Structures are given as C-alpha cells and as structure tokens.
Amino acid sequence: MRYRTALITGASSGIGRSLAHKLAQQGTHVVVCARREAELAALVEAIRKAGGAADALVLDVADVQATRAAIQSADARLAGLDLVVANAGVGAPPSVPPWSWEALGAACQINFLGAAATLTAVLPQMLARGHGHLVGVSSLASFGALPQAAAYCAPKAGLSMLLDCLRLDLHGTGVAVTTIHVGFVRTAMLEHATHRLPQLMEIDAAVDAMLRRLPDRPAEINLPQPLAFATRFLARLPRWLREPLLRAVRPS
Ligand SMILES: NC(=O)c1ccc[n+]([C@@H]2O[C@H](COP(=O)([O-])OP(=O)(O)OC[C@H]3O[C@@H](n4cnc5c(N)ncnc54)[C@H](OP(=O)(O)O)[C@@H]3O)[C@@H](O)[C@H]2O)c1
C-alpha cells in the first residue's frame, strides 16, 4: 500500500526528516512540519529535486490551536491526508532536573499535548472518509519509569496510552492507529547524552524498519526488538525488585 499524502511533524531533522524523504521517494506527497523554516525549505527543495512532492508547514506543536488549524488546512488543500505522523519531540534539557517544571512543562506540552493535537486534528475528516492512518512516535521509555527521566518517560507514556485508547475506539472505522516505540537512534536528540546507549540504531536503519511495517498498519512497531523485549520485561518485574534494580543503574 502506498500513501497518497502524509503529514509529518518534527520533519526538520532526524527520524522525521528521513521518514519524509523516504515516503516522498515512494510517491507520497509529504507535508513536512517543524519550527525551523530554513531546514524545512532545504528538505522540500531536496525532495522536489529528486522528483517528489512536498510542502513545508512551519509550526510549533506547543501551540496546539495553531497546529490543529494548520493541519486541517493541509488536509483540505490536499483533498485528504492518508497518514499523519506525530513525531515532533524533545528530550529534557540536561541543565535542569528532569522533575523540574522547566523540563516537565515543556516536554508535556510538546511530546504529549502537541502530539495529541496533531493526531486528532483531522480525525473527524478521516472518519468521514472511512480511511486514514495515525502514527505516534513514542519511546521504549514509555514502558515503565526510568531513573532521571521523568520529563521524558511521563509524556511518552501518556502518548502511548492515548494511541492505545484511540486504537480501541477507532477499530472497524477504517482509521488505523500505530504506536512506534523507539529505543536509541543516532539523532540530534542524543547529541549530549551522557548515559549508555545500548543497541543504538542509525537513522536509515530505524526508518527503513518503520516503513517496512507501516503499510500493514500494525498496532505497534518496537525498535530494536531485543531492547524492546528487555525494557518490557524490566517494566513488568515486581516493584520490590524493579525499583532497587533501577536505582542501582541510575545515570550519574
Ligand atoms: N533519537 C532517539 O533515540 C529517540 C528515541 C525514542 C524516541 N524518539 C522520538 O523520536 C522523535 C523524533 O526525534 P529525533 O530523534 O529524530 O530527534 P531530532 O532530530 O531532535 O528531531 C526532533 C524534531 O522535532 C521537532 N520539534 C521539536 N519541538 C518541536 C515543536 N515545539 N514544534 C514542532 N516541532 C518540534 C524538531 O524540529 P524544530 O526544532 O525545527 O522544531 C525536530 O524536527 C521524537 O518524538 C523523539 O522523542 C527518539
């Protein structure tokens, strides 16, 4: 299955940028969204040069009303979006504690509320058309609490829960919902990471794996599988065992 049209947030770099490029190569008209206008313009130019179709939409997903309005306009302009990918996300700034409001407030606004605004912006239109695909880029960090990661784990867990609820409610409507749980991918987000990055994936490999599975509209895509299995196993350990274990491996 090919998507005729797709909208991807967080497309100015990393996973979103690569996803947009590769979808455009498959013949999808992509709407690429992010805050950095110059990066989006360069991406659109590269896609068009390669014979693809792309438009840039400069938006800050933290502004949920503007985000919803912009996505609704794109849907109308392109006679329907087949695929909407809520990929925009931020890590917690290293300069403040992960439980501080500076870290938590921004991460919730972008990684949870921004994603929720994106995913639901044209859901009524998709339901009326009887087809569509909603995809959220969450994280293996959503499976359970991790040390020094409140600002990242909490909104990603919220996003994964939202996607699970949507999947239940949209069953049989023609609108599919996929959660992508990502481990570690070598993008700008990890540039300043000081902790270990087990099973680190390159962007191309991660995005190719997503695109191989996405057309089947699976409930979830977990990358990489072994780390996903280990993380889920850890999250399901009884609290009396899990919490001392996690405290013992907390990053400095
Ligand atoms: N890399 C990993 O190891 C990893 C692991 C698990 C999950 N993820 C998730 O994967 C997604 C993509 O991240 P990445 O690794 O590709 O990192 P990245 O290269 O830093 O990309 C993040 C993207 O999000 C956009 N963005 C951030 N805040 C935004 C806002 N307020 N409004 C609109 N766009 C915004 C950025 O664009 P602008 O700055 O131009 O707005 C950028 O395009 C994120 O949701 C992240 O949480 C990544």
Could you tell me the two tokens for 143?
């499976």
Name the active-site residue from 112, 143, 152, 184: 152
CA of residue 19 to ligand 1 center, whole Å? 12
Collect all residues with Cβ–Cβ distance below 8 Å to 212 and sequence separation of at least 6.
none
The pLDDT value recorded for residue 188 is: 93
- The finding on whether 89 has its CB within 6 A of some atom of ligand 1 is yes
Average pLDDT score over the chain? 96
- The finding on whether 221 has its CB within 6 A of some atom of ligand 1 is no
CA of residue 14 to ligand 1 center, whole Å? 7
Q: Tell me the domains of the chain and their CATH numbers.
A: 5-248 (3.40.50.720)
Confidence of residue 1 (pLDDT cuts 50, 70, 90): low
Q: pLDDT digits over 117-127, tens only?
A: 999 999 999 99
Residue type, 97: P
User: Is 3 one of the catalytic residues?
Assistant: no
Asked if 34 contacts 16 with a C-beta cutoff of 8 angstroms, the reply is yes
Name the percent of the chain lying above pLDDT 90: 92
Q: How far is CA 175 from the centre of its chain?
A: 18
CA of residue 89 to ligand 1 center, whole Å? 4
Q: pLDDT digits over 156-170, tens only?
A: 999 999 999 999 999
Q: pLDDT digits over 29-70, tens only?
A: 999 999 999 999 999 999 999 999 999 999 999 999 999 999
